Structure 1
Amino acid sequence: VLPDDVDPMDVRYNVIQWVHRSTRGWSYGSSVRDPRTQEIIKGHVTLGSLRVRQDYLIAEGLLAPYSEGRDDVGMLSEFALSRIRQLSAHEVGHTLGIAHNFAASSDDRASVMDYPHPMVTLNAQGEVVVDNAYAVGIGEWDKRAIIWGYQDFPEGVVEAEARSRIIEKTLASGLRYVADEHARIGTRASAGPAHPAGSLWDSGADPVAELNRLMTLRAVVLGRFSDSAIQNGRAMATLEDVLVPAYLMHRYQVEAAATVLGGQTFTYAMRGDGQAVMSRVSADEQRAALSAMLATLDAKALRLSDDIVSLIPPRPPQSGVSRELFPRHTGYVFDPMAAAGTAAKITLTQLLDYKRAARMNNQQLADLDLPGFADVLSIVINDLWPSSRDSSLITIERMVQVMLVDQLVSLLGNVAAAPQVRADALDALVKIQKRAEKTRDRTLPGAAHMRFIARQISAHLDASDVFQRGDLTVPPGSPI
């Protein structure tokens, strides 16, 4: 605890400060540096207290700790505090000048400088286990980074040569590194990241196997979800606060699995350092990734049981609705269809990312066995229009079909997309339109749905702005 007579801005002291927020926010590890030498003089970490609340919600949904009068807040506290300890080390790493390494989670949690997803498992009895949710201590990558940056060398040792040997030993260890700009979704370089080991909030060496594992865990958690996830005396409507992270627990692993489609394993190789520069993900791995992602769109996986829905009433007066809750088409009444739609949107957005689509087409230039974007679209359409229908799930299936059409329409009109990607989107829309026009659904909702899809596609194809041309900027040439 900071002594009363010490100013937290005093450059002589390294400080970790605890900041309260009313909404979620990032934590920061900043430094004060000598502008002449860039020597780090002071480290200053800001931790947001709401991060604890997020971990508490995750743990409540996973463990349902309040059953039968039980109030096991100790387990929840340890879960949340283990994350804060890891986060503190992460931000201190930034004050020391260490960058993010988003490949660390794929290398057995080799660094605190990744964004970790809690490692949650099921034991032999099918019970949720969180004992190893977050790693303890710093990882091997962190140690190598500190050795390289802060190692003192005896007199007579050539420092440049010694640091080169540190790098060589690090490369030989097999530890991988993926930087921010090649992992974060939404950055200029990576609207759809391509490195299968470089994602945020993911786990495991194999992103596809981990997605399948998480979907199994998710099914168990949702199958047991009840009012035991909130304390006695809390409004029943607040069950939704806990449900959101439980229902969407797979969201980040979907993004990780998507990197396998059109994926490229690459290094930041320097000429002569012996690193493999780049390799494409195999066709079998890409097909497995597509299969795993399509499983997240299965109506059975998207459907919330009525046992859960019936537990969530409208919010109490004056409590308000925040962005942390699911959207609604139903006013203030909980909307399980909109919840399913949010999960479906996560997967469809990744499957139809225009940069990822271009990479899938480009990879066929090198290897025709690798899937192109048209191949993926054909599989997606066939999967979302199953030959046999379950009447209890058909409403969700129709919603996902409409969402697919919406995404394809956006892709067709995206002038930043490659011409072949837009052509593939057009071809898919025409196929869906013909399917909708030929389908004879005898139910009123089914007939209306098919008519809506057919008319929607027709209207968009007739719009004057759909086929606006894209443009490629030629790099500057003058003066030479």
Structure 2
Amino acid sequence: MTSPHSAVLSILLLCAVPAIAAEAPKTLADHTRGLQSQPGFIDVWRDAAKGRVLLSVAALDQPFLLLSSLPYALGSNDIGLDRGQAGDVKMVRFQRHGDRLFLVQDNTRYVANSRDADERAAVAESFASAVLWAGDIIASEGGKHLVDFSSFLLADQHGVAARLAQTRQGAYSVDARRSAVLADQAKSFPDNIELESLLTFQGPGQADFVKQVAADPASLSMRQHISMVRLPDNGYKPRAYHPASGGFDVGYHDFATPLAKSLDVRWQVRHRLEKTDPNATASAVKKPIVFYVDRGAPEPVRSALLDGARWWAAAFEKAGFKDAYRVELLPEGVDAMDVRYNVISWVHRATRGWSYGNALTDPRTGQIIRGAVTLGSQRVRQDILIAESLLAPYGVNAAADKQKLAEQMALARLRQLSAHEVGHTLGFAHNFAASRHGNGSVMDYPHPVLKLDAQGGIDLRDAYGVGVGPWDEYIVKHVYGQFGDDEEAALAQLRREARAAGMEYVGDTDARSPGSVHPQGLLWDFGPDSLKTWDALTAVRRRALDNFSLAVLPNERQAGEIEARLVPVYLLQRYQSEALARLLGGAEFEYATSGDVKAGLAKSGMRAIPAATQRQALDRLADTLRAEYLALPANVLDVLTPPAQGYERGREYFETRMNSVFDAFSAVEAGAAQSAGLLLDAARLNRLAWQHARDARQPGAGEALDLLLRRTWKRDPVPAAIAGGEAVQIAANWVLLDGLLNALNAGQLHAGVDAELRGKARELAQWLAKNPGTGVTADSRRQAAELIRAYLADPTRVKLRPAPTIPPGAPI
């Protein structure tokens, strides 16, 4: 225990010690001494020794744009984390709270564009913003605040873990000890800064897609790039979006609009393009739109990408812009992720997959900040495979030019693809109706134009169009054209001229679903008449199957690969079958405003497809469920070989339940499932029932099903000349019946439609019982009748078979 005298002595001694002067706080210069400076939009300091990036933030509460991208990625089309992929654009700002800086994302979906500060505040206070990051202020001086931004860069800003989870690859998270800020990559420019980090995601590593592509599926290392961009100045004039423009839109809800007007405000997405002489019909521009092709694209791919992307130059010239659009090779040493560059990336994946173009925009106005195109490298190889499968150029007596023709077709498709994806980054949407006018638009999905020549051979010489089409010229004028004070009237006149020229516009919403209604909005079709194109492709398919042999396969390939080349030939009409199905219960309509309709610029309502056309389409589709269409000829069956040792079937093959042997049943079931899935789509059956109820002359759902059953279960015996014909027909019959029961079981049919089709199923069971047949047909009829009765009696006690797997077709 300390005595009172000792305590007093201690106090006296302490008082006798001279006071030590307080250490002066370190300045910004002290903290950045020895670090590499990158002055610019936001001053950046590189600390390579400690693996840090410091920011000197001067502008608080001043919004700017933030976006992520992936310079090094995963390589899986199924997961969708691609090299060069751009993330979403966010409008953010730095805010100071005490001794910390916050990075706050504004909620740009809800605004009040008003001069009244209180009105603006009321909206801002009504909807949540987001704090994306917070960090301690290291030093403040002269209005600048120094922060270590490394923790932001080491977090998953691109959403990689969420994407892995969404695609069922497991729960991944950033491993901080195996991640690093790449300080040497940090750059700052007058209007943007570019920052990069290496992120390692740790996870289970057990799912198929990550196992297919990763060096170690439990440890996925990628790079994340962050761009921070000054907002564009107020010199850009946004253009109101019109639903018939063919463009993309960006928008928000504006609570400051007058009460009689819509809250929904939409702007056309487009680049800033200004004439040096605004009054001239044709003029040079202040700053051209320039795209850069990835230096990693090899020849002849590189030249094809450059050529195709340059097609848009002609459309800009016709719209009155001289030298306004260029495409060049990316300069050596340039960072392809730098937001200042519009880039066409040549991206490798483990499998073929989709290409896409992203227009990164200012959410306030729709002004495009950057165009980022991703082109999957294996698509061109699929085009060559299809061409070789049709031409059979590797036979002993094959013409020498056929191999070259296959490559030329693939490169022609690649030019079109380059133009197409660049079109998206110019602000243009898909137009799936343009193929009705030949090479109507590069914004459609083109099927190769296939025909038979005078000698009966398959002709691919004009498989794909060259250059932009009339729709593309229209859309450039509508999106970018400058019209002075008469803009609204001039744009209305453009739409009037497009309609007079027969141009139609159908976008993704009315084209992608199997049950879509518009007969013109078709992916991968060609020709103005779906029925005539079907008949032409039927002849091409038959010729290709008759000629199918090892001549479709290059000499150095293992023989088992021939099956992968059968798939696109056997399923050659898969897209045109959708064109026929679209006629059933189909109707045409237009995208327009109420004012357009009142002014005579467009028509309102739906216009049903004539009954005779619908029945012709139904007749052709019903025939695709017959053995005559589905059976493979002997020359095909006799050449198919199992994969060699060390090789295996992939997703591009038909499924097999016969070990390593080609499974003809699976091929037939896939072919039948293509048509049955379209014909038994719930939306289509509901429409057929309604159109018949409104107009008895139109086919209904019951009539359609009656015809399908007559061509399948109730048909006459299959001719003996068809190899395996009875077995083929039985396989197709079961696909149709399983599809019908699944349609009833899905709960998407209206009650009356459901009752009608259940009645048809009951009638089929009765017919099968009265007409038992013989042999294997009798066995199937007996089991089918039992299945139908059991399902109708108690669906919960019957396990239905799922639809057969169809090998992937798109993208082609």
TM category, shorter: over 0.9
- Residue 581 (structure 2) pairs with residue 249 (structure 1): no
How many Å apart are 1:442 and its aligned residue?
A: 3.3
Deviates more, 1:424-433 or 1:74-83: 424-433
Deviates more, 1:428-437 or 1:69-78: 69-78
Partner of 2:411: 81
Partner of 1:397: 729
- Residue 710 (structure 2) pairs with residue 387 (structure 1): no
Give the secondary-structure state (helix, strand or coil) at the position aligned to 1:429: helix
Partner of 2:396: 68
Preserved CA contact (<8 Å) 2:626 2:732: no
Per-residue CA distance 1:100-156 (angstroms, 9 max, x = gap): 0010112223111111100011111101111111110011111100001111235xx
Distance 1:414 1:34 in 2: 42
How many Å apart are 1:464 and its aligned residue?
A: 4.7
Distance 2:511 2:652 in 1: 24
Q: Which portions of structure 1, spanning 4 or more consecutive aligned residues, are displaced by more than 6 angstroms?
A: none
- Residue 440 (structure 2) pairs with residue 117 (structure 1): no
How many Å apart are 1:48 and its aligned residue?
A: 0.5
Per-residue CA distance 1:70-116 (angstroms, 9 max, x = gap): 56432111110100100000001000000000101122231111111
Change (3 A) 1:172 1:466: farther
Per-residue CA distance 1:255-292 (angstroms, 9 max, x = gap): 11101001101111333142233211111000000011
Distance 1:143 1:77 in 2: 29
2:612 maps to which of 274, 279, 284: 284
2:360 maps to which of 32, 56, 59: 32
Distance 1:442 1:328 in 2: 28
- Residue 352 (structure 2) pairs with residue 20 (structure 1): no
Preserved CA contact (<8 Å) 2:559 2:644: no
- Residue 749 (structure 2) pairs with residue 421 (structure 1): no
Partner of 1:360: 688
Distance 2:457 2:680 in 1: 36
Preserved CA contact (<8 Å) 1:354 1:421: no
Normalised TM-score (structure 2): 0.55
Preserved CA contact (<8 Å) 2:717 2:726: no
Distance 2:599 2:665 in 1: 53
Partner of 2:531: 208
The percentage of counterpart residues that share the same residue type is 39
Per-residue CA distance 1:281-307 (angstroms, 9 max, x = gap): 111000000011112222121111222
Structure with the bigger percentage of strand: 2
| Partner amino acid, structure 2, of 1:344 | A
How many Å apart are 1:388 and its aligned residue?
A: 4.1
The aligned runs of 1:34-53 (5 Å cut-off) are 34-53=362-381
The aligned runs of 1:319-468 (5 Å cut-off) are 319-384=647-712, 385-391=714-720, 392=722, 393-443=725-775, 445-465=776-796
How many Å apart are 1:12 and its aligned residue?
A: 2.6
| Partner amino acid, structure 1, of 2:754 | R
Distance 2:394 2:788 in 1: 49
- Residue 567 (structure 2) pairs with residue 240 (structure 1): no
Preserved CA contact (<8 Å) 2:546 2:635: no
Partner of 2:423: 93
Give the secondary-structure state (helix, strand or coil) at the position aligned to 1:219: helix
Preserved CA contact (<8 Å) 2:622 2:707: no
Distance 2:494 2:772 in 1: 68
Preserved CA contact (<8 Å) 2:627 2:718: no
Distance 2:371 2:734 in 1: 51
How many Å apart are 1:332 and its aligned residue?
A: 1.5
The aligned runs of 1:141-290 (5 Å cut-off) are 141-153=471-483, 157-185=485-513, 191-271=514-594, 272-274=598-600, 275-277=602-604, 278-290=606-618
Partner of 1:102: 432
Preserved CA contact (<8 Å) 1:192 1:356: yes
Q: Which has the larger radius of gyration?
A: 2
Normalised TM-score (structure 1): 0.92
Distance 2:335 2:482 in 1: 31
Preserved CA contact (<8 Å) 2:672 2:736: no
Per-residue CA distance 1:384-414 (angstroms, 9 max, x = gap): 1223432441111111111121111112222
Distance 1:110 1:5 in 2: 38
Deviates more, 1:266-275 or 1:54-63: 266-275
Give the secondary-structure state (helix, strand or coil) at the position aligned to 2:588: strand
Partner of 1:475: none
Structure with the bigger percentage of helix: 1
| Partner amino acid, structure 1, of 2:463 | A
Give the secondary-structure state (helix, strand or coil) at the position aligned to 1:448: helix
Distance 1:442 1:365 in 2: 39
How many Å apart are 1:166 and its aligned residue?
A: 1.7
Preserved CA contact (<8 Å) 2:388 2:403: no
| Partner amino acid, structure 2, of 1:455 | E
Distance 1:120 1:464 in 2: 45
Preserved CA contact (<8 Å) 1:29 1:44: yes
How many Å apart are 1:208 and its aligned residue?
A: 2.0
Distance 1:150 1:420 in 2: 50
Deviates more, 1:14-23 or 1:25-34: 25-34
- Residue 309 (structure 2) pairs with residue 309 (structure 1): no
| Partner amino acid, structure 2, of 1:49 | S
Distance 2:777 2:487 in 1: 73
Distance 1:448 1:436 in 2: 11
Distance 2:688 2:476 in 1: 38
Distance 1:395 1:108 in 2: 41
Give the secondary-structure state (helix, strand or coil) at the position aligned to 1:259: helix
Distance 1:61 1:372 in 2: 39
2:469 maps to which of 109, 120, 139: 139
Per-residue CA distance 1:357-383 (angstroms, 9 max, x = gap): 110111123311001100111111112
Distance 2:409 2:517 in 1: 32
Deviates more, 1:388-397 or 1:261-270: 388-397
Distance 1:315 1:423 in 2: 48
Preserved CA contact (<8 Å) 1:219 1:301: no
Distance 1:237 1:167 in 2: 53
Preserved CA contact (<8 Å) 1:236 1:311: no
Per-residue CA distance 1:323-380 (angstroms, 9 max, x = gap): 1100112122101121011011000111111110110111123311001100111111
Deviates more, 1:66-75 or 1:101-110: 66-75
Change (3 A) 1:180 1:396: same
How many Å apart are 1:177 and its aligned residue?
A: 0.5
Distance 1:203 1:165 in 2: 29
Preserved CA contact (<8 Å) 1:414 1:422: no
Preserved CA contact (<8 Å) 1:409 1:425: no
Deviates more, 1:92-101 or 1:208-217: 208-217
Distance 1:273 1:286 in 2: 32
